[in-house]
Structure 1
Amino acid sequence: MLTKLRDLSIARKLLIAFGALVLTSAAVGTINRVQLAFIENGNAETVHTYEVMRTVRQLTTAKVDQETGLRGYMLTADASFLEPYSNGIRNFDASFARVSELTKDNPEQQARLREIKEASDAWNREVAEPMIAGMKDLATREATRAAAAAGTGKNRMDAIRAKVEEVQNVERTLLESRRDGLANAFSTANIATIAGAVGSLIIAIVAGLSLAGAIARPIRAMTDQMGLLAGGDKTIHIDGLDRQDEVGGMARALEVFRQNAIRADELAAEQAREQEAKLRRTEVVEGLIARFDAEVTAVLGSVAGATSQLDATAQGMTAIAEETRAQATATASAADQTAANVQTVASAAEEMASSIQEISRQVVHSTQVADNAASQAARTNDTVQTLADAAQRIGTVVQLISEIASQTNLLALNATIEAARAGEAGKGFAVVASEVKSLANQTAKATEEIAQQIQSMQAVTGDAVGAIGSITGTIAQINEAMATISAAVEQQNATTLEISRNVQQAALGTREVSANIASVTQAAGETGASATQVLGAARELGEQADVMKSQVESFLSGIRAA
C-alpha cells in the first residue's frame, strides 16, 4: 500500500492530501448547516408551543373572570359585577379563535378545544344565564341562590378546567420532545465540529509531513548526489531507482548520467590505445550527453510543472481555509441570532411569570375580602340571635304581665261582688274595684298587642338568621373557589418558571454552538497556516530544481569542454 502511494505522481499526491482536507471541511460544514437548520426549526416550534400554552391559559383566565363575575352578582345582585362576566366571554372567544389558529395542524388538539368550547357554551347557556335571569327577579332570587349552592355550575367548571389541563399536558409533552431533539442536535453539532477540527488538523500535519518526506527530502538527497557526481565521485549509490513517480524518473536519469560518466572515463582511458576510435567515442559521448541533457531537461520540466501545480494547490488550499473561516463566521452570526431569539422568549416567559404573580396577589386579596365578609356575617348573626333571645325574654315578661292582669281582673270582680253585698257602705269600694278591673282589661289588651309585635319581631329575626346563614355558606363556597384558583395560579407560576429555565438552557446550548464554531474558525486558520507551509515547501522544491539544473548545465559544459 505504501509502495503504491509512493509511486503516485506528485500531482496525485497533492490532490489526495488537499482533497482529504476539502472533504473534511465540506462534511463538517454540511453537518453544521443541517444541525443549525434543525435547531432554528426546533426553536421556532418551541416558541409556537409556548404561544399555544399562553393562549390556553388566557382561555382559563377568561372563564375564571366569568365565574368570578357571576359569583359576585349572585352574592350582591349588583349588575356592575357582571362586567367581568361579559369581558370574560369576549376574551374567551378571542383566545379560542387564536388557539384554534395556532393548533390547526393538530387535529387531536382541535378536537379537545372544541370540547372545551362546547362545555363553556353549555355552562353559559345552562348555568350562568339562568342564574342571572333568576337574580333579576326578586321573587326567584333566593331559589336561584339555593340552586347555585347545589354545586352544578362548579362541577361543570371543574370539568372545563380538567379538559384545559389535558390540552396543556399534550403541549408540555411536545415541548419535552422538542427539547430532547434540540439537545441531540447540539450534541451532534458539537461532535462534528470537534471531530472535523481535529481531523483537519491531523490531515494537514500528516499531509505536510508526508509531502515533505515524499518529495522534498528525496530531491534534496538527489541534489547532493549530483554534486558528488559532478565532483567526480562515480561510486555514489542513487536511491529511488524503483520509484514510478517524477523522483524515480530523476533518479534513473541520474543513474544514466553516472553510467555515462563511467563510460566516458573508460573511453578516455582507451583513447591512448585506440586513437582511431577517438572520433567514435566522441560521437558516442556527445550522443549520450545530448540524451542525458534531454532526459534531465524533461525531468526538470516535470519537476517545475509539479512545483507550479503544488504552488497552485497550496494557494487553493489557502483559499479553501479562508472560505471555511468565512462560513464559520456566518454560522456563528446565525447562532448568535438564534441565541438572541431564545433570550427574547426567556424575557416573555419572565413577563408571563410576573403577570401570574399579580393574579395570585389579586386572588389572595379577594380571599381576604371574603374572609372579612364571613366574619362580619358571623358577628351580625350573633347580634340578631341576641336580639331574638331578648325578644323571647320580653315575650316571657309580657306573658307574666298578662297573667297578672287576669288575676287582677278576677280580684276586681270578687271585690265588686263583695261591695254589692256590703250595700251602701261598699259603694266606694265598688267604684275602686271597677277602675281596677278597667285597668286590668287595658293591661291585658296592651300585653296582647305587645305579644303580637314580639311574635312578628321573632319571625323577622328568624328570617334574618336564615338569610345570614345562607350568606355565610355562599361566602364559604367563594373561599373554596378562591383556594382552587390560587392553587391553579401557583401551578401555572411553577410551569412558567420551568419554561423560563428550559429557555435559558436552550440559550446556553446556542452559546456552546457559537464557541464550537469559533473552534472551527481557529482550525481553518491553522489549515491556512499549514497551506502556507506547503506553499513554502513547493517554492523550496522549485529552488532545488533550479540548483539541479544549474549543476547539470555546469556538468554538461565541463563534459563538452573536455
Structure 2
Amino acid sequence: MSPSAPLATAVPPAGSSRGGKSPAALFRNAGIRAKIMSIVTALAVVALVVAIVSIYAMQQIAGDARALTSLQNDVSFNIGAVHQEELKSRMLIGTAAAMPLATDQEVADWQAKMAATDGDLDADAAAYEAGIAELGDITATLGGADWAAFTSAWADWKNERDTAMLPAAASGDHAAFQAAYDAASAHLNDAIDALEAEETLVADASSALSAKAASEATFYTTLAIVVLALGLALVLSIALFAAGTIRKQVRDVHKVAEALAKGDLTVTSGAVTRDELGRMGQALDAATLALRQTMESVAESATQVAGASEELSASNRQVTAGAEEMTAQADKVSGAADEVSRNLGDVSKGSDEMTASIREIAHSASEAARVAAQAATAADAANSQIGRLGVSSQEIGNVVKVITSIADQTNLLALNATIEAARAGEAGRGFAVVAGEVGELARETSRATEDISNRVRAIQADAEGAVAAIEEIGQIVERINEFQSTIASAIEEQTATTNEMGRGVSDAASSSHDIATNISGVAQSASTSAAVLSEMHAAVVELAQLAQRMHDKVETFTY
C-alpha cells in the first residue's frame, strides 16, 4: 500500500495547549492526580461549607430551643402557677362563702391556707418577672400593661378580701361576706382578665419563638440543601469535565491503538495537553510516526533487496555457467597438455638419436682424415652416412614441424584459457597466470623449433654439398683435408645445437607435465567454484523469497 504524506504534526511542540491559559485549559493540562484531587477538594469544600452551615443552624436552633425551654419553664410555667394560685385563692373564697366558718380553728386554717396561697402566688409572680427579665428581647411583649393591670387589680382584690371578706367570714356573717365579695368582684374580674391577657401574650411569645425556631430550621435546612446542591453541581461539573477530558483522551489513544492493531499507521491521537494521558498520546503519536518511517524504510529496503537479489541471481547464473565452461575448457587444456608432453617425449628421443648420428659423423670425419688413402672406400662410406644423415635430417624436420604445430596449438589453448580466466574474474586469476606461463613456454618452444628447422636445413644443405664432394672425391682427394676441418667445425656446432635442442625439448616436456597438473587443479577449483556458486544461488533465491515475504508483511500496514 502506498504511503501517505508524512505526519508532520503527529507530536505538538512542548508546552502547547488548546485554549491558552484559561481555567479549562489549565484544568485539561493538569495531571490525573490533580484532577482527582480537585474533585476531592471541591467535595471537601462543599462538605465543609455544609458542615459550617449545619453547625451554625444547629447552634441557632439550639439557642431557640433553649429560649423556648426557658420560656416554657421560667415564664409559661410560672404564669400558669400564678393562675393556679389565683384559682386556689378564689376557691378558698368560694368555700368560705358556701360553708361559713363555724369555729375559730376553721377560721385559722382558712386564713393559713389563704396566706400560703398568697405567698405561693407572690413567689410565682416574682419568678415570672425574673424569667421575663432573663429572656430579654424574646419576652419584650410580656410584663407590660396587662401584667401591671393584673398586679394592680390583684392587689385591690386582696385588699378588699383581707379587710372585708375575711372578717365577715371569721364572724360568720354570710351576708356581709357576700356583700364584700360582690363589691370586690370587679377587681377580681379585672385581675382575671389581665392575667388571661398576659397568658395569651406568653402563649403568643411561645408560638412566635417556636415559629422562629421552625423558620430558622427551615431556612438553614434550605440553605444547607442549596449549598449542598450547588456544591454537588460544582463537583459534578468538575467531575464531568474531568471525566469528559479523560474519556476523550482515552478514546483518542484507544483509536490509535485500535488502528495500530489493524495495521493503520496514519491515525493519530492529536493530544496536546500536558497531563499524563496527553503525554501518553503524544508519545504514542511519536511512536506511530517512528514506526511509520521504519515501515517506509523497511518497504524500500525490501524492494531494494528483492531487486538486488534478482540481479545477484542473474549474475550468479552467469558466473556459474562461466565456471562450468571454464571447467570444460580446463579439461580440454589438460588433455592437450598431456598430448604435448607425450609428443615432446618423442621429440626428445629423436633428438637423442640425432645426437648419436652426429657423433658417428664426427667419428667418420676423423677416420677420413686419418685414412685419406682409403678415400674411395671412405667416400662410399661417407656417401652412405651422409645419405642416412639426409634421412635423419628429414625426420628431424618432420619432428620439428610436429613440435611447431603442437606449440602453436598450445599457444592457442593458452590464449583461450587466458580469455576464459578473464571472464571468471577473481576466481580465474590463478588460472590466468598458469595460462600465461603455458603460452610463454609454447612461444619459447616455437622459437626453439624454428631454430632447429633452420639448422636442419643447413645440415641438409651441407649434406647435399658433401654428396657432391664425395662424387668428385676421386678427382679431389687432395682437397679432403681442407674440407675435413670445415666438416669438423660444422659437426661440433651441430652437436652443440642438438644438445641444446634436447635440453629444450626435455624442459618443454617437463613444463607440459606441470601445465597438465596445474590445469587439472584449475579444473578441480572450477568445479568447486561451480558447486559454491550453486549453493550461493540457492541462498540468493532464499534471500529473494525472504525479501518478498517481508515486503508482503509491510504491505499489510497503511502508512
Relative to the length of structure 2, the TM-score reads: 0.41
The structure with the largest helix share of the pair is: 1
Select the structure of larger CA radius of gyration.
2
